[in-house]
Structure 1
Amino acid sequence: MNYRHSFHAGNSADVVKHGLLIALVRALQHKDSALTLIDTHAGCGLYDLNGEEAGRTGECTQGVLRVFADRDPLLDDYRAAVQAVNVGADAGEGPQLYPGSPKVLAQLLRPQDALILNEKHPEDAYTLRGVMRGTPAAVHQRDAYELWLAMVPPRTPRGVVVVDPPYEQTDERATITATLAAAHRKWAHGVTVIWYPLKERSTHAQWKHQLRKLGIPKFLNVEHWLYDSDQPGIYNGAGLFIVNPPYAFTQALPPLLEAMRAALAPEGHRGEITTDWLGK
């Protein structure tokens, strides 16, 4: 599956990914010690929902626009992060711009925190540098998996690595598995978030089995299935693997996930968001 950020900006996967990232980082910030936030596949950082690529798919209508129409207060933090890049826009028309993970993470930085972004694609990296101008983010243009291993453990006491590839390569999942195993050996207490698209449950179950075999003790899996049964050949949802999620995050997760499920359920489907521990 080729999952370029620009074609899918603001879709249901972005809602879940960014909503949970915000909750995760804020839970970690209950402690004053500094955090380093590392995004290995940063993309362009900011997307025009009316632009050619996002407009071609129109997926934001089933994602961020649904959340802006739903007033559940549990989704306020997510809405605020999107609204922050739409200052001055007509609120009645909904958001015109969508923040990628770099812009979302930059909003969460405290003075003691650091943000490291990486994008290998030359044009996207150039755009990213412009988008992040005026922020304290360091922008790299390197192989994502090489950077992941090079940056851990970070210089700060704690950190988060966000891995969000387009899954263009047939061996992407195997590469993630091997890199995660190596990174965990270097930085066993670090927090890692791995995003992935879902097409069919049976195929994904094989990857989950391989990850379970890594023996990582505190390994949470969150999956958002849009439809009540698999829809063959199409995008069915997305999930996150989260290594070492903080207690405050996991305790607050059930009502937040239910709010997301209710806001994003397609017409005629209830959908579901499940959690599962691969290791404890």
Structure 2
Amino acid sequence: MNYRHAFHAGNSADVVKHSLLIALVRALQQKPSALTLIDTHAGSGLYDLQDDKAQRTGEAVGGVLRAMANSDPLLDTYRHAVEAVNEDGDVRLYPGSPCVLAQLLRPQDVLILNEKHPEDAAVLRGAMRGSPAAVHQRDAYELWLALLPTKTPRGVVVVDPPYEQTDERARITATLAAADRKWGHGVTVIWYPLKDRDTHERWKQSLRRLEIPKFLTVEHWLFDAEQPGIYNGAGLFIVNPPYAFMQELPPLLDALRAALAPDGHRGRLTAEWLRP
């Protein structure tokens, strides 16, 4: 599955991913010690929802525009992140993970972004101008391991690939296994699309064999029944989620599910441990 950020900016997957990412980082920031935030597949950083790529799919209508129109206060922090890159209440620009993470930085925190695609990397540098972020243009999986353990006491690695390569899941699994050996206490967030339930279940089986103790899986199925051969939703694997985040998660997931449910569907947004 090819999932280039620009074509899907602001869709339901982005709303869930960025809402949970904000909650996760804020939970970690309840302690004063510094955080290193690493985004291995950063994309362009900022997206124009009126651009041809975004208009071609129109997915923002069922994502960020639904969330912005929703009144649930649990979505306020997400809405504020979107409002921060727009003016006059008009949602034209969408902040990718780099812009969302940059908004969360404290003076002691570090932000490291990586994008291998040359054109996207150039746009990313422009989008992050004026921020303290360091921007790299390297193989994502090589960088992931090279920067571990982080120089700060704690850190978060965000892995958000386009799934263009047939071996993407295998590379993630192998790199996560190596990362866990180097940095067993670190927090890792891995985004994935949900298209084929059988393929996804096989991947979860291979991840279970890594025997990582605190391995959460969050899954957002948009439709009440699986729709074969199409995009059905997305999820996040989260390694070592902090306690404060877990306490806030159930009501946030319910608010997101209700806000993003397609017409005629209730949808399902759940969190469970990969190894009970």
TM-score for both structures, normalised by structure 1: 0.98
| Pairs within 5 Å for 1:125-136 | 125-136=121-132
Aligned position for 1:40: 40
Aligned position for 1:19: 19
User: 1:257-277: CA deviations, max 9, x gaps?
Assistant: 000000000001000001110
| Pairs within 5 Å for 1:2-17 | 2-17=2-17
RMSD of aligned alpha carbons: 0.7
Aligned position for 1:30: 30
1:232 corresponds to which letter in structure 2?
P
Asked if 1:199 corresponds to 2:188, the answer is no
Distance in 2 (CA, whole Å) between partners of 1:68 and 1:39 is 25
Asked if 1:80 corresponds to 2:67, the answer is no
Distance in 1 (CA, whole Å) between partners of 2:150 and 2:275 is 24
Q: Aligned residues: percent identity?
A: 78
TM-superposed deviation, 1:157:
0.3
Asked if 1:110 corresponds to 2:103, the answer is no
Which of 186, 209, 215 pairs up with 2:205? Answer: 209
User: 1:84-142: CA deviations, max 9, x gaps?
Assistant: 000x23x2xx4100000000000000000000000000010011001100000000000
Distance in 2 (CA, whole Å) between partners of 1:117 and 1:151 is 11
> After TM superposition, what 4+ stretches of structure 1 lie above 4 angstroms from structure 2?
none
Aligned position for 1:95: 91
Distance in 2 (CA, whole Å) between partners of 1:177 and 1:97 is 33
Aligned-partner SS, 2:157: strand
Aligned position for 2:64: 64
Unaligned runs of 5+ in 2: none
Distance in 2 (CA, whole Å) between partners of 1:201 and 1:267 is 22
Distance in 2 (CA, whole Å) between partners of 1:185 and 1:191 is 13
Which of 223, 244, 247 pairs up with 1:248? Answer: 244
Aligned-partner SS, 2:30: coil
Asked if 1:120 corresponds to 2:116, the answer is yes
Distance in 1 (CA, whole Å) between partners of 2:69 and 2:221 is 21
Distance in 2 (CA, whole Å) between partners of 1:58 and 1:273 is 22
Distance in 1 (CA, whole Å) between partners of 2:182 and 2:275 is 18
Distance in 1 (CA, whole Å) between partners of 2:197 and 2:138 is 32
Distance in 2 (CA, whole Å) between partners of 1:110 and 1:279 is 34
| Pairs within 5 Å for 1:122-271 | 122-271=118-267
TM-score for both structures, normalised by structure 2: 0.99
Aligned-partner SS, 2:32: coil
Distance in 1 (CA, whole Å) between partners of 2:69 and 2:128 is 29
Unaligned runs of 5+ in 1: none
User: 1:230-269: CA deviations, max 9, x gaps?
Assistant: 1111100000000000000011100000000000000010
User: 1:19-47: CA deviations, max 9, x gaps?
Assistant: 00000000000000000000000000000
Distance in 1 (CA, whole Å) between partners of 2:102 and 2:271 is 27
1:129 corresponds to which letter in structure 2?
R
Distance in 2 (CA, whole Å) between partners of 1:210 and 1:276 is 17
2:128 corresponds to which letter in structure 1?
M
1:147 corresponds to which letter in structure 2?
L
TM-superposed deviation, 1:180:
0.1
Distance in 1 (CA, whole Å) between partners of 2:196 and 2:4 is 19
Distance in 2 (CA, whole Å) between partners of 1:229 and 1:177 is 28
Distance in 1 (CA, whole Å) between partners of 2:104 and 2:74 is 17
